Chains A and B, each alone.
Chain A
Amino acid sequence: MFSILTNITPLEGNFILMERIYLDNNATTIVDPAVKSAMEPFFSQMYGNPNSLHDFGSEVHPYMQIALDRLYAGINAGNNDDMIFTSCATEGNNTVIKGVYYEIIRNSEKNEIITTQVEHPCVIHSCKFLEELGVKVSYLPVNSDGIIDKDILTEYIDPDKTALVSIMWANNETGLIFPIKELGTLCRENGILFHTDAAQAIGKIKVDVQDAPVDFLTFSAHKFHGPKGAGCLYIRNGVKIPPLLHGGEQMGGKRAGTVDTAGFIGMGLAMELAVENLDYEVTEVRRLRDKLEDAILSIKDTRVIGRREIRTPNTILTSIKGVEGEALIWDLNKNGVAASTGSACASESLEPNPTFVAMNIDDELAHTGIRLSLSRFTTEKEIDQAISVIRKSVERLRSISMSNI
């Protein structure tokens, strides 16, 4: 595994050697050094355009083929399915939602999209955009476990009206895993297209498109130790949507634009490594996550959102009474621990976190949420250090706070 990142950080005018601990892996991850090495030759050696009719172009093809094989194997896609290179899951999600609008909603009686209140903004905002064009969109509330179950979806779908159901595989904030196999089956039985944003699922849990009947699946490489700027859109054989990006004949005409060959090749290896490390993820990463979670829960008046059994093995969304989320993130950052906030306050907007609202988590907790997310590069030493930093920060901020604790 990779060595601990060290950095010289100017702090309060002095240079202090500080070990930084990265616990924000749901935002992005470190590129696996093996992935980086695999990408290296495609910048200045084999830099040809794969669409060119000379050796510079064609010499890249075998490597792209390997990457493609790895991607197909990674989610168990069939050879007649498409796995289209995109720049990120956001692009894939836009392609699916807007594509369904152009292909189906504009040409049939089906005029509804069903999604959830807790989707990533790229899904929510794409749906809002379609609402402006006259599409009816339902945003499903989650149940008391924080997920969408078959019962909720059954209430909303209408085989005559529903064109698409889009539900994430795992939630970015809570790590809660949605029952995609069941939900996909329900849609399949009713002749409704089903899309899942698997950005938070790949590399954390098993993703198999033969097992779970999905029509579209999207992900970003940088969430599983691949490069940023590379993503993938899976389309089941026989499902047709127009491209989002029109242009050349790349990706079989389904996504124009010269393929980022290094990114594509890196993503392929990252996928293979993610699948290989899945056992490690559900045992060792989970063990470290649980250790951190138990330590936080041992502090008085703290809670963790969502049951452990139905969460991705790397994620903790915790609420610490009397400690405002952003203040804690600030303090942790000062002490070398990178986390992210689930609170309303720290985001650019003052809007309360939609996941919290949907889960009926009371407002007080909504301002005290922080998210800690691990990866296979997180070490036990880092977790021990993080525990100690979190304890100290909570103590300090509670001494400032007037909450009666």
Chain B
Amino acid sequence: MAKADLIGGSLWDQYSSKVDERMTNPRYMGKITEEEAKAMGARLIVADHGAEVCGDAIRLYWAVDPDTDKILMARFKTFGCGTAIASSDVMAEMCTGRTVDDALKITNIDVEKALRDDENKVAIPPQKMHCSVMAYDVIKKATSIYKGVDMASLEEEDIVCECARVSLGTIKDIIRINDLKTVEEITHYTKAGAFCKSCIRPGGHEKRRYYLVDILKEVRQEIENEKVAKFLEQKDFSLMNIIQKHKAVERVLSEHVRPNLLKEGGNLEVLDMKENNGITQIYIHYLGACSICPSSKTGTLSYIEGFLKKELSEDIQIIII
């Protein structure tokens, strides 16, 4: 990345040509009047999201068929940058023809993906990601109006950043989906923490229930735990790497072998493990009573080796140092 970062590039260069095209000629820009909706036999929904003070605001118009819940027509108006205009346009297009429940499934990631020229190349620079999140949130708002329910009931969760109205769920999802590692990245993607900054960490402008630093820490921990769990899931000893094998051996030793040795005042430690022609050689060193016990090189040894063979694999050999 270093070489690619040095010149810094134009913001425009980081946009896909689809963003450019939608910005220049938005197809779904405009509004739907009561009369137009009535003529279609549809119910008009007008939803606002964001605010000009935050730099982004969108109004979404839906003409919804009340019998089928199908969105017959969608239009938008937006105060925002090129990304906001382009993602609003794609979002309105994606809503059209779907039922309200289906439309609710559209995420900002879907919107962003629809704007890509190349499926492997992100359509917008990271600091503009929040503009696509806005297009996603307004669908929730429109749905809540249509269904006559509270927007919060659709989110079923709490708002972390009031300025940018970003929910706990959105933040957690965004961290997971994009594998975010810093609070700055969360701000880039969601705009949470970009304004009054109260929600970044305690001690800000106002006291908050959730803070981005804590959420990030928690989700990162979850991700790491999942990685470890996935790692330990590997059941087949012969397919494990040496570290996994070591962990498995230690687990068997701790659960089955060490308690018995400890009863006699002894113990052992694993000093090394080597792979030798398909045999896993485990180098152990006796401690305490075991180190002077005459049977440690005969009976105890075959007991330990037998246990590891039974629990893990026949291809295990113990070598005493």
Contact = CB atoms under 8 A, between A and B. Distances in A.
A400 B92 CA distance: 14
A363 interface: yes
Contacts of A401: 77-79
Contacts of B26: 400
A334 interface: yes
Contact of A333 (B12, B29, B127, B191): B12
Interface string A321-338: 011111100100110000
Interface in B49-80: 52-59, 77-80
A345 B78 contact: no
B132 interface: no
A38 interface: no
A350 B187 contact: yes
B79 A326 contact: no
B79 A402 contact: yes
A350 B188 CA distance: 8
B91 to A, nearest CB: 14
Interface residues of A, number: 28
A159 B56 CA distance: 47
Contacts of B79: 322-324, 401-403
B294 to A, nearest CB: 65
B288 to A, nearest CB: 52
A346 B78 contact: no
Contacts of B77: 400-402
B295 to A, nearest CB: 64
Nearest to B8: A348
Contact of B78 (A334, A351, A363, A400): A400
A326 B127 CA distance: 13
A327 B24 CA distance: 10
Nearest to B25: A12
Given A350-B194, A402-B59, A402-B77, A330 B23 contact: yes
B interface: dominant SS: mixed
A350 B79 CA distance: 16
B84 interface: yes
A367 B57 CA distance: 11
Contact of A363 (B48, B54, B85, B130): B54
Contact of A345 (B48, B55, B59, B187): B55
B23 A402 contact: no
A349 interface: yes
Contact of B55 (A322, A333, A367): A367
Contacts of B188: 350
Interface in B114-134: 127, 130
Given A362-B53, A401-B77, A402-B57, A346 B84 contact: no
A348 B82 contact: no
Nearest to A352: B195
A241 B59 CA distance: 58
A174 interface: no
A24 B23 CA distance: 23
Contacts of A351: 194
Contact of B52 (A334, A346, A367): A367
B12 A326 contact: no
A334 B23 CA distance: 11
A55 interface: no
A350 B128 CA distance: 9
Interface residues of B, number: 30
A326 B29 CA distance: 18
B11 interface: yes
A123 B55 CA distance: 27
A345 B12 CA distance: 13
B81 interface: yes
Contacts of B24: 12, 334
B247 to A, nearest CB: 42
Nearest to B130: A350
B80 A327 contact: yes
A220 interface: no
Interface centre among A334, A345, A362 (most CB of B within 10 A): A345
B81 A364 contact: no
Contacts of A350: 127, 130, 187-188, 191, 194
A312 interface: no
B81 A345 contact: yes
A362 B130 CA distance: 21
Given A349-B127, A350-B187, A326 B52 contact: no
B60 to A, nearest CB: 10
A399 B58 CA distance: 13
B84 to A, nearest CB: 7
Contacts of B194: 350-351
A90 to B, nearest CB: 15
A364 B11 contact: no
A148 interface: no
A326 B12 CA distance: 10
A343 interface: yes
Interface in B194-219: 194-195
B196 to A, nearest CB: 10
B273 to A, nearest CB: 46
A344 interface: yes
A346 B11 contact: yes
Nearest to B55: A367
A327 B85 contact: yes
B82 A326 contact: yes
B55 A343 contact: yes
Interface of A: 12, 322-327, 330, 333-334, 343-346, 348-351, 362-364, 366-367, 399-403
13 contacts: A12-B24, A325-B81, A326-B11, A330-B23, A345-B56, A346-B11, A350-B187, A362-B53, A367-B52, A400-B29, A400-B77, A402-B77, A402-B79
Q: Which 3 A-B pairs have the closest CB atoms?
A: A402-B77, A367-B55, A326-B81
Interface of B: 11-12, 23-24, 26, 29, 48, 52-59, 77-82, 84-85, 127, 130, 187-188, 191, 194-195
